Amino acid sequence: MDDIERVARAAIAEASPRMRAAWSASKTVEFKGSVDLVTATDREIEALIVARLRAQFPDHAIVAEEASAASGPQQPARDVYAWYLDPLDGTTNFAHSLPQFAVSLAVGRGDEMLFGIVHDPIRDETFVARRGKGATLNGTAIHVSELTDLGHALVTTGFPYDRRERTDFYVGFFAAFLRRAQDVRRFGSAALDLCYVACGRFDGFWEWRLHPWDTAAGSLIVREAGGTVSDFRGGRFDLYGEQILASNGHVHALMRAVLSAQLDGVHS
């Protein structure tokens, strides 16, 4: 695991200044869908990191966002080490020069994530977790918040790429938390949202239809910081599933109840 962490950190350290430089420069933007963007920087950073991983770990599988764009994420065999890479989580923010994006990288085997790292190149914040070893921010241990009252909780979410077609459905969940939580944020980077739960900036996070590269690192970081990760009804979190609920653990059942009521069509 030391070699895995060393290679991951080195690859992200090489990518970081390129992301910072590109953030304030003019950008080449393409559309993968009506609201789904990709930039030249997404592809450049993915190619850089994948090359480093393949050179060091030729037998490992790699599930990376841009390489999976045409066919969708392919689930690796359970007995191989697999890397999950989002080279630029928060591409829409990046394309508009909004400083809320990150590179997210994790490695796991089967359902078990073993190491995760999320790096924010603008704030120079690096969140890291090893399975069973806790989570850190720039080398200092982090922990989820101690808040227990959902009415005092700051929670966050995002909206999937089919939001134009299912606007009312997704906004219904947002509205349910506006009625129950202290407030709701929507920052546009799931990897950072999860890390912010891990370090106590947010108390909870939910989102529909994320991909494995969005959540692999962040979900491990939340758990290693003492938080809880599940699906909307409290079941096992599936990296390839459609739902993620992450929290400090203390408000998890309360958030789960809000989501379950919304799923069941019970509004209050």
Segment holding 37, helix H or strand E: strand 37-39
Q: How far apart are CA 156 and CA 245, in angstroms?
A: 10
pLDDT of residue 158: 96
pLDDT of residue 29: 82
Q: Is the pLDDT of residue 187 over 90?
A: yes
The closest of 123, 129, 147, 256 to 200, measured between CA atoms, is 147
Task: Write out the residue limits of the CATH 3.40.190.80 domain(s) in the chain.
Answer: 150-263
Task: Write out the residue limits of the CATH 3.30.540.10 domain(s) in the chain.
Answer: 2-141
CATH number listed for the domain at residues 150-263: 3.40.190.80
Percent of the chain with pLDDT over 70: 96
Query: Residue by residue, what is the 3-state secondary structure of 135-176?
Result: EEECCEECCCCCCCCHHHCEEEECCCCCCCCCHHHHHHHHHH
What fold does the segment set 2-141 form as a domain? Answer: Fructose-1,6-Bisphosphatase; Chain A, domain 1 (3.30.540)
pLDDT of residue 34: 65
Write down the mean pLDDT value for the chain.
94
pLDDT in tens, 230-261: 999 999 999 999 999 999 999 999 999 999 99
Rounded average pLDDT over 56-75: 86
Extract the tokens encoding 36: 């789904």
Q: How far apart are CA 4 and CA 18, in angstroms?
A: 22
Segment holding 224, helix H or strand E: helix 212-224
Residue 86: CB atoms within 10 A of its CB come to 33
Extract the tokens encoding 93: 């923010």
pLDDT of residue 266: 57
pLDDT of residue 86: 96
pLDDT of residue 36: 67
Percent of the chain with pLDDT over 90: 85
Q: Is the pLDDT of residue 151 over 50?
A: yes
Mean pLDDT comparison of 66-80, 89-103, 156-170, highest-scoring range = 89-103
pLDDT of residue 268: 44
Rounded average pLDDT over 134-143: 98
pLDDT of residue 182: 98
Global pTM reads 0.95
User: Comparing 6-10, 113-117, 140-144, 162-166, which segment has the lowest mean pLDDT?
Assistant: 162-166
Per-residue pLDDT band at 35 (split at 50, 70, 90): low
pLDDT of residue 43: 93
